[in-house]
Amino acid sequence: MDPTNKPKGPSPHYSLYQREVFQNGGSKGELPSFSVHAEELAESTKKKLNDRSYFYANSNAGLGWTDRANREAFYRWRIIPRMLVDTNTRDLTTELFGHRIPAPILFAPIGINKLYSPTGELIPAKIAGELGLPYCLSTAASQPIEAVAQANDLGASVKNESNSVHEYSGPNGGNAQGPRFFQLYMGHDDEITISLLERAWKSGFDVCMLTVDTWQLGWRPTDINIANYVFYYPGAVGNEIGASDPVFMRKHGDELKKDSGKWIDSSVWHGKAHTWEKIPWLIKEWKRISGGRPFVIKGIQSVEDALKAHQIGCEGIVVTNHAGRQVDGAVGSLEVLPDIVDAVGDKMKIIFDSGIRTGSDVFKAIALGAHAVQVGRLYVWGMSHEGEAGCRHVMKSLLADLDITMTVAGYRSITKDVNRRALKYNASGNPPHGADHAKL
């Protein structure tokens, strides 16, 4: 890994992070304090968190079959390496909703990050800013919208090879220094919904991403076993966006003092489903507030719903089953991606979510037609170990893994060269058991 005289390409040489880790070990005796092997990383998180925090991050619906289906779907698709290709520079850059970003990877919206580190969402927001990757903020966050925006700008303020790739010339309500999107859980009080969207826009979140698969939390036995719903416990976290919202507090502030579950029960996971008929109103309001910026639906798993999302005016969808946390025994998210891409991939942006663990996973999802992917549990596991440093290490490792995969597999451009011809489907065989790898 000769770092000298490397030609400059569209993307940073993320692969050099591998050399940095090796050099720190060899010359300084500094080894990573935790494994970035995804299965070992998930396992070691148990030692870093209490039961409530660990199981909130790792619980799945029912017997966990959908979570398993997500991973098995990746195993079925195999990369076809190409040889003697000039991959001395790679192009991982892509365009997403007017943003030029250095790699097709987003920080997925995950709620209640204070369960994993004391400053919660401020950590991944800052790291996303450092890397120039889009950060998606959850309505169930444990920091106010405005504080997360500041953390994201702080990370973006120190320019480097990665975040300097980011370009955007469209409207933004908060002069954001990096790309950031707002994930909305929509309650049934329109005044509160509009207040949330206005705050998000003024704080520089310029894409609205509505989650439609989680009006109510799925049945997750490992959470049931320990009555794992943090909002009902003393000193509850996860109310910060509601508690900082002027409309919610005007209407329900007194109730929140008496019932720490008021915000989450009425405005987030309220158990009262919306229907397609409500979505045009929401799109219209977001367009009014944002000056026409994109609206995305998160939770699509069927061609029919993808077509419906396009018909009603969405600019994008997130193909996700909520990481297997909502419906047990459902299809793996990657299983349905090709058909959805064939139906709407040339009409709207498709973001893939659910089961991404490695650079090759990112490669496969892009090859099957996604424009970008979201990662969630990976960065949560990282910040659970070492806060900001752990989150940074995991995400830089993922970028290095993707960059090296492109290099050694013989694919230069993630948008031009990585397509279905880069993969072969294998319907047989079972993924290796989690213990079937070399480890310390």
3-state class of 237 per DSSP?
Answer: coil
Determine whether the annotation assigns residue 433 to a binding site: no
Bridge-based pairing of strands 208-211 and 135-137 is unpaired
Determine whether the annotation assigns residue 15 to a binding site: no
The pLDDT score that the predictor gives to residue 416 is: 98
pLDDT-derived band at 6 (thresholds 50, 70, 90) equals confident
Q: pLDDT by residue (tens digit) across 210-219?
A: 999 999 999 9
The pLDDT score that the predictor gives to residue 5 is: 81
* Section 309-334 average pLDDT: 98
Geometric angle at alpha carbon 297, from 291 and 300, rounded to 5°:
160
126-135, 143-152, 229-238, 349-358: least confidently modelled range:
229-238
Determine whether the annotation assigns residue 291 to a binding site: no
**Mean pLDDT, all residues of the chain:** 96
3-state class of 340 per DSSP?
Answer: helix
Assign residue 22 a region: left if phi > 0, alpha if psi is -120 to 50, beta otherwise? alpha
The pLDDT score that the predictor gives to residue 430 is: 81
Token pair 């699509």 is at which residue? 300
- Separation CA 105–CA 192 (nearest Å): 30
- Separation CA 101–CA 132 (nearest Å): 6
Task: Give alpha helix (H) positions in 137-259.
Answer: 145-157, 190-202, 221-224, 240-243, 246-258
Helices 303-311 and 333-344: crossing angle, nearest 10°?
A: 40
> What SS3 string covers 391-434?
HHHHHHHHHHHHHHHHHHHCCCECCCCCCHHHEEECCCCCCCCC
- Separation CA 327–CA 409 (nearest Å): 35
What is the separation, in whole angstroms, between the first and last Cα of the chain?
25
Determine whether the annotation assigns residue 138 to a binding site: yes
3-state class of 105 per DSSP?
Answer: strand
Determine whether the annotation assigns residue 111 to a binding site: yes
Please give the domain boundaries of the chain with CATH numbers for all domains. 15-425 (3.20.20.70)
Determine whether the annotation assigns residue 267 to a binding site: no
Beta strand ranges found along 201-338 (DSSP E) = 208-211, 295-300, 316-319
Q: pLDDT by residue (tens digit) across 55-111?
A: 999 999 999 999 999 999 999 999 999 999 999 999 999 999 999 999 999 999 999
pLDDT-derived band at 7 (thresholds 50, 70, 90) equals very high
- Separation CA 353–CA 334 (nearest Å): 8
* Section 322-347 average pLDDT: 98
Bridge-based pairing of strands 94-96 and 99-101 is antiparallel
Is the separation of the CB atoms in 435 and 125 below 8 Å?
no
Is the separation of the CB atoms in 302 and 323 below 8 Å?
no
The pLDDT score that the predictor gives to residue 437 is: 63
Geometric angle at alpha carbon 383, from 406 and 28, rounded to 5°:
70
Q: Is the pLDDT of residue 431 over 90?
A: no
- Separation CA 162–CA 133 (nearest Å): 9
Determine whether the annotation assigns residue 356 to a binding site: yes
Is the separation of the CB atoms in 173 and 145 below 8 Å?
no
Residues in Cβ contact with 346 at an 8 Å cutoff, skipping those fewer than 6 apart? none
Number of Cβ within 10 Å of residue 8's Cβ equals 9
List, by residue number, the catalytic residues: 322
pLDDT, greater one: 6 or 306: 306
The first and second tokens of residue 160, run together, are 């480097």
Q: Is the pLDDT of residue 438 over 70?
A: no
Q: pLDDT by residue (tens digit) across 175-184?
A: 999 999 999 9
Token pair 């040889």 is at which residue? 83
Assign residue 64 a region: left if phi > 0, alpha if psi is -120 to 50, beta otherwise? left
Residue 26 amino acid letter: G
Determine whether the annotation assigns residue 355 to a binding site: yes
Determine whether the annotation assigns residue 431 to a binding site: no
Determine whether the annotation assigns residue 300 to a binding site: no
Geometric angle at alpha carbon 168, from 166 and 170, rounded to 5°:
165
Q: Produce one character per residue of 12-36: b if its CB has 16 or more CB atoms within 10 Å, e if not.
A: bbbbbbbeebeeeeeeeeeeeebeb
The pLDDT score that the predictor gives to residue 110 is: 98
Determine whether the annotation assigns residue 4 to a binding site: no
Pick from 109, 117, 130, 148: which is nearest to 50 by CA? 117
Determine whether the annotation assigns residue 90 to a binding site: no
Determine whether the annotation assigns residue 68 to a binding site: no
Residue 302 amino acid letter: S
The pLDDT score that the predictor gives to residue 439 is: 64
Number of Cβ within 10 Å of residue 244's Cβ equals 15
